[in-house]
C-alpha cells in the first residue's frame, strides 16, 4: 500500500472516530417558522437559534445517542402554508414535536390539527387564545397578552395617564391584544377613547394616527409584530404627535428600533429579559442562560438576539429535556412537558400544568424603553 493511501486511510479513520457515533435513526423535530415574508424579523432569529442549538447538540453527541434532525419549513407567515406544512411534518416526516408557528394567526390555524392528531406543538407566538382554552397537545412559550396589557396599564397609572388611544394590526396577534386591552382598561382606571385597526401590511399610518391625535389622548398604544411598529413611530414624529407611545412585547427586536431611528426614542414596552441581560443582577436566576445564549448567538451571527429567538430556544430546550428524560414516546414527552416545574428559559421560568400550557407569570417580563438607540430598563 502506497504512503498516500496509508495517509488517506489514517485521515479517514481520524475523521470517523472524532465525530459522534450516532444510531442509524434520527430524532426528528419539526419547525414552522416564518423565515421570510412579513414576519421575517421574528422568524429569522428563531430559525437561526434552532439551527445553532441542533448543531451544538449534535456536535456533543446528540440525544440518546441519536442525531437530531431539524425539519424546518418556511411558512412565510401564511396560515395556509402553516397548515399544509404541519400536515407534512406529521404525516410524512413523523416528527416527535413541532416548534412554532412564528405568528399567532398561524398558530391558531394549526392548533386544532395538532391536537386532533396528538402532535406536540410548542408555539413561539403570543396570543392568549393559543392556549386558552387549553388544548392537550398545544403549548406556547411567549408571555400571555393579558400580562402585557396589565403591565402597560400599571405603568400608565404611575405616570398619571387615564385617556389613551389604541391602534392594532388586523393580524391574529393584533386583534388578540386589542381584546386584552379592552378587557383590562376599566379595572385599571384607563379610558380607551378611540381604538383603530390597520392592515398589517400598511406602509403609511398617517391617516389612522391623525384620527387618534384629534381625540386629545394622553398616550398611545400600538399592538402588532409587523414592520408597521416602526412606521407608527416615524409617522407620529412627522405629525408632531408628542405623547408617550407604548408598544406590545412584539417590539422586542432591535431591528424595529433601527428602522424607526430617532423616532423610536422613549418607546415603552414590556418584554423578556434577554434584551437587557447584561444589566441584570448576578443573582437573577435567568442570567446565566440569558448571557450564555446572547454570547453564543452574537458569536455565530454577529448580531443581538431578540425575544423571538428566545422563544425558539425555550421551545427546543423544553423538548430536548423531555426526550432526554423519557425517550421518544410522544405521549410520554407531552406528559413530561405538562409537568415541567421551574425550567429556567430565555422567556422566563416555566411551570406548566394541565390548566396552564404557557407556564409563565407576569414577572417574566420587565418594562423597557428605548434610550440612545438601545433597549434599557424603564426608569434607569
Mean pLDDT, residues 135-155 taken together: 96
Q: Which of 245, 271, 297 is the last residue in one of the domains?
A: 271
Question: What confidence category does residue 159 fall into, taking pLDDT thresholds of 50, 70 and 90?
Answer: very high
Quick check: is 109 in a domain?
yes
Three-state SS annotation for 238-288: HHCCCCCEEECHHHCCHHHHHHHHHHHCCCEEEECHHHHHHHCCCCCCCHH
Mean pLDDT, residues 350-355 taken together: 98
User: Whole-number mean pLDDT of the chain?
Assistant: 93
Quick check: is 186 in a domain?
yes
Spatial distance between the Cα atoms of 215 and 75, rounded to a whole number of angstroms: 39
Q: What is the pLDDT of residue 188?
A: 97
**Contact call for residues 225 and 34 (beta carbons, < 8 A):** no
Quick check: is 170 in a domain?
yes
Quick check: is 279 in a domain?
no
Q: How many domains does the chain have?
A: 2
* 275-324 per-position pLDDT tens digit: 999 889 999 999 999 999 999 999 999 999 999 999 999 999 999 999 99
* 53-96 per-position pLDDT tens digit: 999 999 999 999 999 999 999 999 999 999 999 999 999 999 99
Helix/strand/coil for 185: coil
Helix/strand/coil for 235: helix
Quick check: is 320 in a domain?
yes
Same domain, 139 and 54: yes
Taken as a whole, the chain contains a residue count of 380
Same domain, 132 and 169: no
Cell of 52: 445553532
Same domain, 263 and 302: no
Q: What is the pLDDT of residue 23?
A: 65
Quick check: is 198 in a domain?
yes
Spatial distance between the Cα atoms of 351 and 341, rounded to a whole number of angstroms: 4
Same domain, 170 and 241: yes
Quick check: is 3 in a domain?
no
Which residue has 416545574 as its cell numbers?
Answer: 341
Q: What is the pLDDT of residue 208?
A: 97
Same domain, 113 and 214: no
Quick check: is 181 in a domain?
yes
Q: The CATH number of the domain where 263 resides is what?
A: 3.40.50.2300
Q: CA separation (Å) from 228 to 200, 225, 246, 250?
A: 7, 8, 14, 11
Q: How many CB atoms neighbour CB 349 within 10 A?
A: 17
Closest CA to 126 of 265, 291, 310, 275: 310
Q: What is the pLDDT of residue 294?
A: 96
Q: What is the pLDDT of residue 379?
A: 82
Same domain, 139 and 152: no
Q: CA separation (Å) from 22 to 26, 30, 295, 340?
A: 8, 20, 28, 28
* 233-273 per-position pLDDT tens digit: 999 999 999 999 999 998 988 989 999 999 999 999 999 99
Q: Which of 271, 300, 317 is the last residue in one of the domains?
A: 271
Which structural domain, as residue segments, surrounds residue 233? Answer: 146-271
Same domain, 136 and 165: no
Amino acid at each position: 500500500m502506497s504512503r498516500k493511501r496509508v495517509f488517506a486511510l489514517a485521515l479517514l479513520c481520524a475523521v470517523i472516530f472524532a465525530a459522534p457515533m450516532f444510531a442509524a435513526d434520527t430524532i426528528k423535530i419539526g419547525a414552522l417558522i416564518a423565515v421570510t415574508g412579513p414576519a421575517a424579523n421574528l422568524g429569522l432569529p428563531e430559525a437561526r437559534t434552532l439551527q445553532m442549538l441542533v448543531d451544538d447538540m449534535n456536535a456533543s453527541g446528540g440525544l440518546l445517542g441519536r442525531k437530531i434532525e431539524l425539519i424546518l419549513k418556511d411558512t412565510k407567515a401564511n396560515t395556509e402554508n402553516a397548515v399544509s406544512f404541519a400536515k407534512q411534518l406529521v404525516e410524512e416526516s413523523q416528527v416527535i414535536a413541532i416548534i412554532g408557528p412564528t405568528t399567532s394567526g398561524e398558530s391558531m390555524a394549526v392548533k386544532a390539527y395538532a391536537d386532533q392528531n396528538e402532535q406536540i406543538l410548542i408555539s413561539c407566538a403570543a396570543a392568549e387564545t393559543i392556549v386558552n382554552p387549553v388544548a392537550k397537545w398545544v403549548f406556547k412559550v411567549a408571555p400571555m397578552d393579558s400580562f402585557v396589557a396589565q403591565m402597560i396599564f400599571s405603568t400608565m397609572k404611575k405616570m398619571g395617564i387615564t385617556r389613551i388611544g389604541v391602534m392594532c394590526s388586523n393580524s391574529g396577534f393584533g386583534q388578540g391584544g386589542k381584546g386584552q386591552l379592552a378587557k383590562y382598561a376599566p379595572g385599571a382606571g384607563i379610558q380607551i377613547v378611540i381604538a383603530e385597526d390597520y392592515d398589517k401590511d400598511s406602509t403609511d399610518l398617517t391617516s389612522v394616527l391623525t384620527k387618534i391625535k384629534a381625540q386629545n389622548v394622553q398616550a398611545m398604544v400600538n399592538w402588532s409584530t409587523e414592520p408597521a411598529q416602526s412606521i407608527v413611530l416615524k409617522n407620529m414624529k412627522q405629525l408632531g404627535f408628542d405623547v408617550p407611545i407604548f408598544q406590545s412585547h412584539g417590539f422586542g427586536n432591535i431591528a424595529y428600533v433601527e428602522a424607526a431611528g430617532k423616532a423610536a426614542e422613549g418607546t415603552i414596552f414590556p418584554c423578556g429579559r434577554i434584551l437587557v441581560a447584561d444589566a441584570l443582577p448576578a443573582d437573577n436566576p435567568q442570567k446565566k442562560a440569558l448571557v450564555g445564549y446572547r454570547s453564543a448567538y452574537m458569536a455565530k451571527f454577529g448580531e443581538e438576539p431578540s425575544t423571538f429567538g428566545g422563544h425558539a430556544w425555550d421551545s427546543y430546550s423544553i423538548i430536548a429535556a423531555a426526550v432526554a428524560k423519557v425517550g421518544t414516546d410522544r405521549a410520554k414527552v407531552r406528559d413530561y412537558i405538562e409537568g415541567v416545574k421551574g425550567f429556567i428559559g430565555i422567556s422566563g421560568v416555566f411551570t406548566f400544568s394541565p390548566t396552564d400550557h404557557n407556564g409563565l407569570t407576569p414577572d417574566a417580563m420587565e418594562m423597557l424603553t428605548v434610550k440612545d438607540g438601545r433597549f434599557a430598563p424603564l426608569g434607569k
